[in-house]
């Protein structure tokens, strides 16, 4: 398991692969469409799990195609996508109320306990 320290945020790199989950178990009114988030052309997917009681965003070796092929959705790898004006917000399915956000540090993703809250930057331990 790798911690995410920083990811390139340049649009032209096109590093993320988004795949919607069609499993109706995860469709919740107002929460958005559930997506798997993977790194293009690599077997790495974003995953949100609890470590020492706190949500942690990680990269795990997993093929996004295999995740999509599973009969049942894999909660740690799913994120609800909500469109807000001109931005998108991703909420963890396995850690409800935690959102992927950008940080004031360029290239550092973070998790925030609620939309609009000051996010906690993710670092290695």
- Of the spans 28-37, 46-55, 83-92, 100-109, which averages the highest pLDDT? 46-55
- Of the spans 52-56, 83-87, 88-92, which averages the highest pLDDT? 52-56
pLDDT reported for residue 33: 81
DSSP strand pairing (16-20 vs 2-3): unpaired
Higher pLDDT, residue 81 or 18: 81
How many helices and strands in the chain, by DSSP H and E? 1, 10
Q: Count the neighbouring beta carbons within 10 Å of the beta carbon of residue 90.
A: 24
Tell me the pTM.
0.69
Determine the structural domain holding residue 47 and report its residue range. Answer: 2-6+15-121
**Residue 119 clears pLDDT 80, i.e. is over it:** no
Q: Where are the alpha helices (DSSP H) in the chain?
A: 64-69
pLDDT reported for residue 77: 92
What's the CATH number where 62 sits? 2.80.10.50
pLDDT digits (tens, 9 = 90+) for 51-67: 888 888 888 899 888 88
**Residue 1 clears pLDDT 50, i.e. is over it:** no
pLDDT digits (tens, 9 = 90+) for 2-45: 333 334 334 433 566 777 766 666 666 567 788 888 888 888 88
Q: How many domains does the chain have?
A: 1
pLDDT reported for residue 12: 39
């Amino acid at each position: 398991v790798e911690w995410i320290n920083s990811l390139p945020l340049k649009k032209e790199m096109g590093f993320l692969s988004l795949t919607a989950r069609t499993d109706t178990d995860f469709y919740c009114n107002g929460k958005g469409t559930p997506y798997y988030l993977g790194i293009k052309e690599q077997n790495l997917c974003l995953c949100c799990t609890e470590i020492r009681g706190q949500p942690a965003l990680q990269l795990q070796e997993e093929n996004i195609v295999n995740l999509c092929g599973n009969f049942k959705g894999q909660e740690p790898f799913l994120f609800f996508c909500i469109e807000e004006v001109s931005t998108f917000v991703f909420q963890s399915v396995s850690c409800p109320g935690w959102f992927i956000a950008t940080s004031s540090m360029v290239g550092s993703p973070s998790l925030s306990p609620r939309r609009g809250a000051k996010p906690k930057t993710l670092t290695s331990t």
